[in-house]
Amino acid sequence: MTAPILTVQGVHRTFGSGPAAVHALRDISFEVEPGTMVALVGRSGSGKTTLLNVIGGLDRPDEGAVTVDGVDVTALDEDGLSQLRRERVSYVFQTFGLIPVLSAAENVGVPLRLARAEPKERERRVELLLDLVGLSGHAAQRPGELSGGQQQRVAIARALAASPRLLIADEPTGQLDAETGLAVMALIRGIVESEGVTALVSTHDPVMMALADRVVRIADGQLVP
C-alpha cells in the first residue's frame, strides 16, 4: 500500500472567542491517496475553504496536524510554508487569481520564476502547459482579454507549472457556467490521470462529484459520512 499524500489528523480551527466564536473546523481527519482526485463537498460556510487553506499552509489549525507528501505543514514556519507552496502544493482559486497585468504565458510562468527555473526550461514548460490546457494561441493575451473558462484554464496551467504533488482547487467552477465548469473539471480529471497529480477539489455540484475518485463531505466544520 502506498503512503497517503495528504494526512489530516484531528484538525480544529476556531475564529473569534467566547460566545461569538465560530468553530470552522472540528476534529477533521482524513487521508488522500496519491494520484487521486478527491472532491470536498459541502454547503457554503461548511468549512471547505478553511480546510483547504489549512492544508495549503495559508492558515494554521488551532489543533491537529496536516502532513503533505511527508511534510508536517503545521510545524513549518513562514519560509517553510512558502517553500511548501512553491514545491509541493498548488492552488486554483474560484476567482482564477491571475495577475491582471501579466499575459497568460507570464501568469503560467510565475511559479517557475519563483522556483528560479532556467529561462529556456521555463519557456518550454509554459508552452507545454498552455498546450495542455488548450490555450496555445492565447499566450500573449492578458486575463481581461480571456473568457472565464480560459482564465481558469490558465490558472490550472499555472498551478501545474511547478509540478506539484498536491493540487488544491477551491470551487474552480464557481464562476463558470455549467458547460465550461464541466470542461474545467474534466481537464483536472485528465491532468490527474496524465500527470499523476493528486487533486483536492472543493465543490457543491453533484455533476462535478461524479468525476472524483472519492468524495469527502463536510458540514458545520465536521466530516460527515
Partner 1 sequence: MIALLARRARAQWPLLASLLAVLTIGATLLGTCALLVTRTSERAVEVAAARATADDVEVTAYTVEIPPGNARSVAADTREILAASIEPFPAALTTRASSVMRALPGDGREAYLSGVEGLSARSTLISGRWPRAAGDTSAGRPLEAAIFDNTARLLGLKVGSRIRLGAELTVDPAGPVTVTVVGLVHPLPDAGWDRDPLGGEGFDPDPSDAAFGRKMQAYGPFLVDLADLLASGSALDRLEVNARPDLADPKARDLDTLSASVLGADARLAAKLTGRVRVERVSSALPGTLAGARDQQELTAEAVLALALIGIVLTAIALALAGRLATGVRADESELLSALGTSRRQFAAAATVEALALAVLAVALAVPASAALHAALTRIPPLSGAGLAARPAVTGPQVLSVAGGALVLAVLLISLAVWPAASSGDRRSRRELLARSGADLLLVALAGVGWWQLTTQPAGAGTRADAVRVLAPALLLTAGTALALRLVPPALNRAERLAARTRGLVAPLATVQAARRPQAVAAGLLIGLGCAAATFGAAFDDTWHAAQHDQADLAVGTDLSVVLGAPPLTGQSTAVAAAVGGVVSPVAEHTVAVGQWLGGAGAAPRLLALDTRKAAAVLRGRGDWPSVAKPLIPATPVPGIALPRGFVPVISGTATDNAAVTVTPFLVLEDATGLRTACSGTAVPLDGHAYPVPGCVPDDGLRLVAVALPVSGVPGGWAAVSTVDVGLTVPGGATADKWGVKAASPESGQLSGTTVAIAGGRLRMTGTVKFAEPIAASRTFVATAFGNPGPVPIAISTRLAGDVSAQVGSKLSLTYGVTPVDAVVTEVVPAIPSAPGAAAAMADVDSLSRALISRGDLDSPVTAWWAGHPRADAAARVAGLHVGPTITRAGETERLTGSPLRASVPAVLRLLVAAAVVLLLGGVVLHVTCDVQLRALEVARLRGLGMSRRSIRRALLGEHAAVLLPLLVAGAAVGALATRVVAPLMIRSDTGGAPIPAAHAHWPWLTEGLLFGLLVAGTGLAVFAVVTVQARRADAAHLRVA
CB closer to partner 1, 93 vs 133: 93
Give the integer Cα–Cα distance in Å for 193 and 152: 19
Residues 54-93 close enough to bind partner 1 by CB under 8 A: 56, 58-59, 78-79, 82-87, 90-91, 93
CB closer to partner 1, 204 vs 214: 204
Q: Choose, by CB under 8 A, the member of 7, 46, 49, 203 that binds partner 1.
A: 49
Burial class (CB in 10 A: 0-12, 13-18, 19+), 167: buried
Which part of the chain contacts partner 1 (CB under 8 A), choosing from 48-56, 65-73, 187-195, 206-214?
Answer: 48-56
Closest CA to 200 of 177, 187, 216, 221: 216
| Residue 59 CA from chain centroid, whole number | 14
Closest CA to 31 of 49, 50, 58, 10: 10
Handedness of CA 15, 49, 199, 115 (dihedral sign): negative
Question: Treating both helix axes as pointing N-terminal to C-terminal, what angle do 148-161 and 178-195 enclose, rounded to 10 degrees?
Answer: 20
Q: Does residue 195 interact with partner 1 by CB under 8 A? A: no
Give the shortest CB-19-to-partner 1 separation in angstroms.
Answer: 22
Give the integer Cα–Cα distance in Å for 92 and 110: 14
Give the shortest CB-97-to-partner 1 separation in angstroms.
Answer: 4
| Residue 193 CA from chain centroid, whole number | 16
Q: Choose, by CB under 8 A, the member of 35, 97, 134, 148 that binds partner 1.
A: 97
Q: Pull the grid cell for residue 204.
A: 457543491
Q: Choose, by CB under 8 A, the member of 62, 95, 190, 193 that binds partner 1.
A: 95
Q: Choose, by CB under 8 A, the member of 62, 118, 177, 193 that binds partner 1.
A: 118
Which residues contribute to the site for partner 1 (CB under 8 A)? Answer: 49-50, 53, 56, 58-59, 78-79, 82-87, 90-91, 93-95, 97, 99-102, 106, 110-111, 113-114, 116-119, 122, 142-145, 158, 162
